[in-house]
Structure 1
Amino acid sequence: MFEEVAALAMTGATTVVAAMATDGWSTARARMAGLFRRADDIQRAAIEGQLDGHAALVASSDNAEAVRQDLVPVWRLQLAALLRQHPDAAEELQLLVREIQERLPSAQQVWQQRQTNIARDHGQVFASLGGDVIVHHGPAQPPPAPSVVVGDEPEATE
């Protein structure tokens, strides 16, 4: 269930962010605000402010694609939190995603990509979709001590 919520939140986030600063933004914004009607008044107002502020960042940026990439994790977190608190919102988010995707300009449809990586049974996934992959492991182990051979030492000459 967690994986499904995470995947839907990511799809929703990339779709909404892709719609920012496009002709379909007003519809996308209204549908997102409607999705968060389940939240209290303060949170709903904050979400609407974020939507407006983030769309303005995208519209005013010299590199809108970089701004969109930076905003996706923010909206993934917001949508995942909403889905955890209100599982009944999943179907509405799926409809919202389909509706917005149909309205996106072709350039945004190409930008909006989805990637799902799942590691099981102690597996590891190293993946990137438009970003860097940085891997950190536990504390570094000291290199092995050099082996010493006894009995074959060269004789000293003077």
Structure 2
Amino acid sequence: MGPEIAELARTAGTTMVTLMAGQAWESAREGLVSLWQRFQPDRAQAVGGELEATREDLLLARQTGDADTESELTAEWQAKVRRLLVARPEVADELRRILAELNPHPAEAQSSVEVRLRAEVSGSGRVYQAGRDQHITER
């Protein structure tokens, strides 16, 4: 169950930090706090405060373009969730349910599209290729 717990914790931590900056933040916060309330009630209030502090840090990091802080916050929540899962393995099913509610279409969200790009240039020609958005500013 070790790798399974680690993967679930990674998914949960990443999902929570991602949702902190979006419209689903309140639902995500309520879901995680209720999880702690149910399985470690003495920590639930602290977890709620930690989530709020993390959200403030995340929003500031995004405003300033600080990708390192966002990665650190994600790692912190992955670790917190992993420790909860190790201490209380029965949390796993409830956590999966909460994640499914937050992302009701996981197959669509995780689907990928194969993009193949090919270009030939000669002389002083230029090629700009992108698998998604591309912004070019030339002067």
TM-score by structure 1 length? Answer: 0.60
Q: Does residue 54 of structure 2 align to residue 39 of structure 1?
A: no
RMSD between aligned residues = 2.0
Equivalent AA in structure 2 for residue 39 of structure 1: Q
Helix, strand or coil: the match of 1:58?
Answer: helix
Equivalent AA in structure 2 for residue 76 of structure 1: Q
Instruction: Give the aligned partner of residue 85 of structure 1.
Output: 87
- Is the contact made by 2:34 and 2:44 (CA closer than 8 Å) also made in structure 1? no
Q: Structure 1: which 5+ residue stretches go unaligned? A: 104-108, 111-158
Deviations 1:21-77, CA, capped at 9 Å, x for gaps = 211100000001011111142x22221111000011112232265432111111111
Number of residue pairs aligned between Structure 1 and Structure 2: 104
Pairing 1:1-158 to 2, within 5 Å after superposition: 1-37=1-37, 38-41=39-42, 43-61=43-61, 62-63=64-65, 65-102=67-104
Q: Give the Cα separation in 2 of the matches to 1:67 and 1:79.
A: 18
Q: Give the Cα separation in 1 of the matches to 2:75 and 2:60.
A: 20
Aligned residues with identical type, % of pairs = 27
The structure with the largest alpha-carbon Rg is 1
- Is the contact made by 1:18 and 1:68 (CA closer than 8 Å) also made in structure 2? no
Equivalent AA in structure 1 for residue 102 of structure 2: I
- Is the contact made by 1:9 and 1:80 (CA closer than 8 Å) also made in structure 2? yes
